[in-house]
Amino acid sequence: MPEVIFSGPAGRIEARYHHSKAPGSPIAILLHPHPAFGGTMNNPIVHTLYQMYQTRGFSVLRFNFRGVGRSQGIFENGAGELSDAASALDWLQSFNREARVCWIAGVSFGAWISMQLLMRRPEISGFISVAPLAKHYDFSFLAPCPASGLFVNGEKDTVTPPEAVHSLVSKLKTQKGIAVEHKVIAGANHFFQDKIDELSKICSTYLDKRLASEGQM
């Protein structure tokens, strides 16, 4: 997973990138948890999802938001980080111009940013949202949500209570034209301590099902 550096809105962005050699391979971009609370692209969940996409033939990118690691800039409460994510997707697409399938995945704060980018980029066809901060941030912009995807949260999450995620998902499930799935992992906290393998299995199963149904496997 070679290190890459590319230009973003606030300066240099540090990233890790795997390039699939197969022509027209699907692409995926991963967004990490809150920078002010230690979130980086090396978060164990982000790394696990990165490997999941890589083993399925995706060209996949994970990166540090501004002010994290070697990425330049300072935290901007979401607006700047959304710009970082848009620039990262632009960079990823510039090396994969034949890709016809694009996925996004985010963890915690990164889930909130990823869903905003989903609204702005119609080429994104699927999402995985892990431990979304449904109590802390407004997700009402998902009206309507433009793509099908998966939400996963922990039963013992004290950062965002499961009821908040359930309420968000229930609203999305009433929308027509998309299919939103929701999984709750028993005993898991916000960081999925000792539960990452189970999280990986759930996400992998969902991704495989989607890829098979859409003729990508």
What integer pLDDT is reported at residue 48 of this predicted model?
98
Pinpoint the alpha helices (H) of the chain. Answer: 44-55, 79-94, 109-120, 162-173, 196-213
Provide the pLDDT for residue 131.
Answer: 98
pLDDT in tens, 169-192: 999 999 999 999 999 999 999 999
Specify the pLDDT at position 37: 95
Give the number of residues written for the chain: 217
Q: Would you list the domain boundaries of the chain?
A: 3-212
Other CB atoms within 10 A of residue 108 CB: 27
Per the prediction, the chain carries an average pLDDT of: 97
pLDDT value, residue 214:
87
Looking at the predicted structure, is the pLDDT value of residue 1 above 80? no
Q: What pLDDT does residue 84 have?
A: 98
- Measured CA to CA in angstroms, residue 148 lies from 145, 151, 174, 182, 188 at distances of 8, 10, 12, 11, 24
pLDDT at 126: 98
Longest distance between any two alpha carbons in the chain, whole Å = 44
Task: Convert the pLDDT of each residue in 85-135 to its tens digit.
Answer: 999 999 999 999 999 999 999 999 999 999 999 999 999 999 999 999 999
What's the distance, Cα to Cα, between the start and end of the chain in Å?
23
Local confidence band at 217 (pLDDT 50, 70, 90 cut-offs)? low
Residue 113, pLDDT score = 98
Predicted confidence at residue 140, as pLDDT, reads 96
Name the pLDDT band for 215 (thresholds 50, 70, 90). confident
CATH superfamily label, 3-212: Alpha/Beta hydrolase fold, catalytic domain (3.40.50.1820)
